[in-house]
Amino acid sequence: MSVKRVDGALMAGMLKNGLACLKASEEKINILNVFPVADGDTGTNMRLTLENGLNVAKPVKELGPYLQSVSTGMLYGARGNSGVILSQLMNGFAQELARVPSADTGEVKRSLIRAYQMAYNSVIRPVEGTILTVAREGIEHIRSQVTRRTTIDQLLSMYLAEMRKTLAYTPELLAELKEAGVVDSGGLGYITIVEGMLKYLNGEVLTGAGEEIEQKAPQPSVDLSLFNEHSSFIDGYCMEFILQLLLDPAYDQDFRLPSFIKKLEARGNSIVAVQDNRRVKVHIHTKIPSAVMALAQKYGEFITFKLDNMQVQHNEHTRAVKSVKKHVPLQVITVADGDGMRELFSGAGAGDILDGGASMNTSAQEFVSAFKAADADRYLVLPNNKNITLAARQAAALSLGKKVTVLPTRSMVEGYFALAMDVPDSEDIDYRVRQMELGAENVVTLSVAKSAKDTTYHGMLVRAGDWLSFIDDEPASAAGSRIEALIAGLAAVPDIRDRETCILFRGVDTDEAEEAELEERIGKLYPDLELSFIYGGQSVYGWLVGLS
Amino acid sequence: MKNFAIICDATCDLGEELRKEYDIKVVAGHVKLPDGSEKKAMPGWNDFTKEEFYTALKAAPNSFTTSPANVAEFSEAFEATVREGLDVLCMTISSGISGAFGFASEAAAEIAKKYPEAKIVCVDSLRFGPGFGLMAIRASELRAGGKSLSETADWLETNKNRYHQAGWLDDLSFVAKKGRLTHAKAFFGTLAGVKPIGEFDYNGLTTVIGKVKGAKTAYATLLDYIEKTGEDLTNQTVFIAQTNRQKEAEEYKRLIEEKFHPKAVIIKDVYPLCAINIGPGLMAAYYAGKPISKDLSAERKILEDFAAGGKRQ
């Protein structure tokens, strides 16, 4: 197939195929994660990012506007470092093509160059041997070979071949890949997407690519207590259904939409009814759903059916209008995993605590919403994970007019120390931010988790099920038990004798007996260390230890 | 010149020995115990041992309450003194914290009517606890040095804003709850690993002017703070007050003696009447020095500069 121009509709098909291709390889890409502990996964983060872009994109024929809408969706939906970089690749790609209804090969080439440049610029310290190198060399190595006669599918085919070459030697560029014996997972993810796009041009449509993309956006939870025995029922129900008209003679075969709508009008209002062959989609507000159902069931049966009490929604709305946002000088937004950590952060003065979950892969959109949700002069983000910092910065860049500072805390431990050093009663916001910076400084985070696989990591031979300790994300020790891994990890902290404070945050599957044992052993080993134990409830790390 | 007595309310927190040494009289306050009973309270361990008290306080911080002496009690104390032929210098806890100054002034007016020849001057110390006590000791020293009642009262009025508190409060929840801390806007519970540094504000309320990580940094920060805010320390008595922090207080005393060579450094307990409002975890030095700025901005800056300097090293 030789494709000379690509427009919005074709690009939509290509990207959906790319997503389908990525989905099929998602697990394979996740496994490439060099970090031996099961947390934030590259494949999943990239998939969620692209999926969000395609979910919100408007299907238009013009390439420029279509890519713009995909790009915006991806920028907001970006999760994890690989997701942020992917969104920036798309951002550059879309910017280059912003004004064109369709693009030829030369334009696509230029946009692939712009894509990697944008991605490099978005990272403070670009690391070679990653998705960045793959995207850069992929196009730079072939740009001179692209001629007037090159078609878009040929271009993508050459691009892919070069990217695969680069991917193969990423272990030479990045020692940790070599040691783990893997190639870069983000690079592979990107290649997988481009593969899917090329396959589409070659007529190979992957399963799932044509389907509606699953809406993953969480439904806002409704406060059911708003409709109770004292409520009055004025607004009725909002009813939506798809009706399948049936040929069975038990059903009335004489279905005509205009007369059906007339009958609906006798039973409710705000009616929308459309017929697509033998299916009818209906939206109606009614106080007597049974009457509408009985009418519909004369002609067929429901494929989908949804009924909401609008009074509840109305009350929610009224409440939302009533609850005027309280103005705060500084809104501190942080990310936590674990009920104990959430409570601790909330008590220590965090204004908003985003749920990081076990994978700690909060999206840019979640931060943007958090900025919108608060009325503040300034916003301070404590991302508490290396993988979230980029998404937080991206969110800050997307939130024009909001003054956002990202204090790149690498762990919940650093986040705790930052919050604990805040002086909320000071009116000097700069001072408060500086205090929190001081808090996060010179803190060592020791974490203990179980290895999810057999691997060699930073010179340590690790078996699945071993307990590993990490000092600020660098592996420190491996042992057969959690306690031993922690004790060995402490001993590996270079200046442990100079440390004064040791706070141990207990994970959700760690018990108090373990706490008592640790208190005794650490107390004996380091009598000058001031020990505190706090329940954190975090999931992956049985113990998170802060040394200051 | 007629002699005068110094009468303080019980929140000056001076134990029996210091009261005797400096000839300071104290009007008892009131403490309500968890069992509902009320007791008159003088500074000291009269009804409980220190250990019993702190265990009980930790278990039920909200079940203890305090109240100042009432007008009648101040009147009684003034009258007894006046009848001994003495004038009265009455010093009270900061009016920003308690109503004692009002009660004492009312009592003073009453007694002055009854004994027109008597002179009773009330001074709002704008402090409480050890800061107030230290000021009372200074008044006594001035009296011993021959100053009159008016001269002493004038000196107090001019200099009361020079009394500092430099220390930390491990558990701010007590102070915040009892309103002895300004702007308790957010969480002030126990902050593991972090020491909130407290200073008196203009009204004598303890205010957090900064926080530091760990005791070592806290000592270094506090010594720097005392150096920059203290004046003429070699001729001063310095108090170190502590609630259940004897070990740290001794270390702090050693460091202060080594660096500033004050006339004396006295580690003192915080007795129930004050401790109920401070809780366990106070460890602070009290001394006189430069006037405290209205919004504490100068004082915050000292801590901030020190922290910034520490970073550069």
Q: Looking at beta carbons, which residues of chain B come within 8 Å of A421?
A: 194, 211, 213
- The pLDDT-based confidence of A462 (bands split at 50, 70, 90) is confident
Place of tokens 């994109």: A57
Domain boundaries, position A480: 444-547
HSE-up of B286 (CA within 13 Å, CB side)? 31
Nearest residue to A279 via CA among A312, A323, A246, A315? A246
CA separation for the pair A390, A385 (Å, rounded): 10
- Are A348 and B191 in contact (CB < 8 Å)? yes
- The pLDDT-based confidence of B64 (bands split at 50, 70, 90) is confident
pLDDT at A213 over 60: no
pLDDT digits (tens, 9 = 90+) for A224-243: 666 777 777 777 888 888 89
Q: How far is CA A270 from CA A242, A259, A273, A298, A479, in A?
A: 16, 16, 10, 22, 66
A345 touches chain B (CB under 8 A): no
CA separation for the pair A14, A131 (Å, rounded): 20
pLDDT recorded at residue A376: 92
pLDDT recorded at residue A221: 46
Say if residue A117 is in the same domain as residue A27.
yes
Question: Using alpha carbons only, what angle is made at residue A543 by residues A540 and A545, rounded to the nearest 5 degrees?
Answer: 125
pLDDT digits (tens, 9 = 90+) for B154-180: 999 999 999 999 998 877 665 555 544
Look at residue A189 and tell me if it is in a domain. yes
Say if residue B186 is in the same domain as residue B297.
yes
pLDDT at A430 over 50: yes
- Last residue in a domain, options A407, A425, A440: A440
CA separation for the pair B40, B38 (Å, rounded): 7
- Last residue in a domain, options A407, A440, A473: A440
B294 touches chain A (CB under 8 A): no
CATH of the domain at A287: 3.30.70
- Are B185 and A422 in contact (CB < 8 Å)? no
Q: What is the nearest CA distance from A476 to chain B, expressed in angstroms?
A: 23
Say if residue A381 is in the same domain as residue A464.
no
Which residues does residue A284 pair with via DSSP β-bridges, in sequence order? A239
pLDDT at B276 over 60: yes
Say if residue A411 is in the same domain as residue A392.
yes
Determine the length of chain A. Answer: 548
CA separation for the pair A392, B229 (Å, rounded): 42
CA separation for the pair B227, B219 (Å, rounded): 12
**Residue in chain A nearest B191 by alpha carbon:** A420
Q: Is A424 helix (H, G, I), strand (E, B) or coil?
A: coil
pLDDT digits (tens, 9 = 90+) for A101-115: 999 999 999 999 999
B309 touches chain A (CB under 8 A): no
Asked if A351 and A332 touch (Cβ cutoff 8 Å), the reply is yes
pLDDT at A220 over 50: no
Asked if B90 and B123 touch (Cβ cutoff 8 Å), the reply is yes
Q: Looking at beta carbons, which residues of chain A come within 8 Å of B311?
A: 438, 441
Domain boundaries, position B187: 161-312
- Are A417 and B311 in contact (CB < 8 Å)? no
pLDDT digits (tens, 9 = 90+) for B105-156: 999 999 999 999 999 999 999 998 999 999 999 999 999 999 999 999 999 9
- Bin A538: left if φ > 0, else alpha if -120 < ψ < 50, else beta: beta
Would strands A352-355 and A327-336 be described as parallel, antiparallel, or unpaired? parallel
Please compute the mean of the pLDDT values over residues A443-459 and round it to a whole number: 86
CA separation for the pair A540, A35 (Å, rounded): 13
Look at residue A195 and tell me if it is in a domain. yes
**B229-B233-B235-B239 Cα dihedral, nearest 10 degrees:** 90
Say if residue B173 is in the same domain as residue B136.
no
pLDDT recorded at residue B312: 40
pTM over 0.90: no
pLDDT recorded at residue B313: 39
Look at residue A146 and tell me if it is in a domain. yes
Look at residue A383 and tell me if it is in a domain. yes
* Range name among A273-277, A330-334, A388-392, B50-54 with the lowest pLDDT average: A273-277
CA separation for the pair B203, B213 (Å, rounded): 27
**Residue in chain A nearest B308 by alpha carbon:** A438
Say if residue A360 is in the same domain as residue A429.
yes
**Cβ contacts from A onto B, under 8 A:** 71
Higher per-residue pLDDT: A13 or A424: A13
Say if residue B67 is in the same domain as residue B134.
yes
pLDDT digits (tens, 9 = 90+) for A129-184: 999 999 999 999 999 999 989 999 999 999 999 999 999 988 888 888 887 778 89
| Best residue of A327, A497, A501, A528 to probe chain B, by most B CBs closer than 10 Å | A501
**Residue in chain B nearest A498 by alpha carbon:** B216
CA separation for the pair B26, B19 (Å, rounded): 8
pLDDT recorded at residue A509: 86
Say if residue A117 is in the same domain as residue A236.
no
A430 touches chain B (CB under 8 A): no
Say if residue A328 is in the same domain as residue A421.
yes
pLDDT digits (tens, 9 = 90+) for B179-190: 444 444 444 456
CATH of the domain at B41: 3.40.50.10170
Alpha helix positions (H), A3-41:
8-31
pLDDT recorded at residue B183: 43
- Are A420 and B191 in contact (CB < 8 Å)? yes
| Best residue of B170, B171, B181, B187 to probe chain A, by most A CBs closer than 10 Å | B187
pLDDT digits (tens, 9 = 90+) for B187-228: 445 677 888 888 888 777 778 888 888 888 899 999 999 999
B113 touches chain A (CB under 8 A): no
- Kindly state the helix (H) or strand (E) to which residue A145 belongs, with its residue range: none
Q: In total, how many domains does chain B have? A: 2
pLDDT recorded at residue B172: 66
Say if residue B175 is in the same domain as residue B275.
yes
CA separation for the pair A541, A543 (Å, rounded): 5
pLDDT recorded at residue B10: 94
Look at residue A225 and tell me if it is in a domain. no
- The pLDDT-based confidence of B37 (bands split at 50, 70, 90) is confident
Other Cβ atoms closer than 10 A to B176 = 23
Look at residue A153 and tell me if it is in a domain. yes
Asked if A378 and A405 touch (Cβ cutoff 8 Å), the reply is yes
Q: In total, how many domains does chain A have? A: 4
**Residue in chain B nearest A502 by alpha carbon:** B193
CA separation for the pair B28, B52 (Å, rounded): 21
Asked if B67 and B30 touch (Cβ cutoff 8 Å), the reply is yes
CA separation for the pair A111, A100 (Å, rounded): 12
CA separation for the pair B181, B178 (Å, rounded): 8
Higher per-residue pLDDT: B91 or B128: B91
Which residues does residue A470 pair with via DSSP β-bridges, in sequence order? A447, A475
Say if residue B146 is in the same domain as residue B178.
no
CA separation for the pair A295, A267 (Å, rounded): 10
Look at residue A148 and tell me if it is in a domain. yes
